[in-house]
Amino acid sequence: MEGLRDQLNKFPFEMEIPDEPYLDNFSQNKSQTAYYVGDRYLKFAVNEATGLVGECLWRAPTLELLEKRICHPEPGHYVITLDAKENPWEASYMTNTYQHEPVANYEENVGQLDSEGNPILWDYSWGHVINQIYYINDLKYIDGKFVKPAFRFHQHTNETVWKTVADHIEMCTRELERLVYQPEEKTAIEDCKAGWIDIRDNFQHVHHWKLKYPDMPLIKP
């Protein structure tokens, strides 16, 4: 089996998955078996000051072939050889050439209801799993060891989102005072405002990325 695996250049590793998307918590020990698929040996340039690993310079199925490929790193960098058999996670992260069975979507009922009273589920799809968990181009090599990249948190903070919620409520209030809307247009704005107020008053305990926000009504100039 070991010889066949080497021949196929397909090296297994356990891909750790957080308990929930965007939360740096792995306490439930979720994982998925994945396989790096590609050349076994790879050369990378490392920034001497930061330890940041740059793009792949060369790759080859054998160490002998790799050593025939001379690298001239930029000033302030040095070259390392990565053995994908020994470091399949790092090889997969740097090359994005890995395979795995589909990872089940993360679903959660956060308590919101649609217009018909049905639960609205937050559904998150896993695709390129490693790059969804960690920032790209952030692997480091320090003191002879790889250091995993920073965890990928949601791009929007709670502070900015809740300010946006307040801004939308204010906007709806302002628009309702204008005498430019037909009754059905005004009703749409009222419904939108009610939706924002519901989120503000009842769902601040929920991570903002899980919420369904109101559809924006027509706003006239």
Q: State whether 42 and 117 are in the same domain.
A: yes
Mark which of 120, 147, 174 sits at the end of a domain.
147
Q: Hey, which bits of 18-113 come out as E strands?
A: 30-37, 41-47, 53-60, 77-83, 98-100, 106-113
d(CA 141, CA 151): 17
Q: Provide the sign of the torsion angle of the four alpha carbons 89, 91, 95, 100, taken in this order.
A: negative
Which residue do the tokens 């305990």 mark? 205
Domain span at 203: 158-210
pLDDT recorded at residue 8: 57
pLDDT recorded at residue 185: 97
d(CA 132, CA 149): 12
In a domain, 50, yes or no: yes
pLDDT recorded at residue 71: 87
pTM equals 0.87
Q: State whether 27 and 86 are in the same domain.
A: yes
Encode pLDDT of 2-36 as tens digits.
444 445 589 999 999 999 999 999 999 999 999 99
Q: Hey, how many other C-beta atoms are within 10 angstroms of the C-beta on 104?
A: 11
Q: How long a stretch of residues is the chain?
A: 221
Helix axes 158-176, 183-202, angle to 10 degrees: 150
Residue ranges of the chain with pLDDT lower than 70? 1-8
Number of domains the chain is built from? 2
pLDDT recorded at residue 9: 85
Q: State whether 105 and 30 are in the same domain.
A: yes
Q: State whether 142 and 171 are in the same domain.
A: no
Helix (H, G, I), strand (E, B) or coil at 197: helix
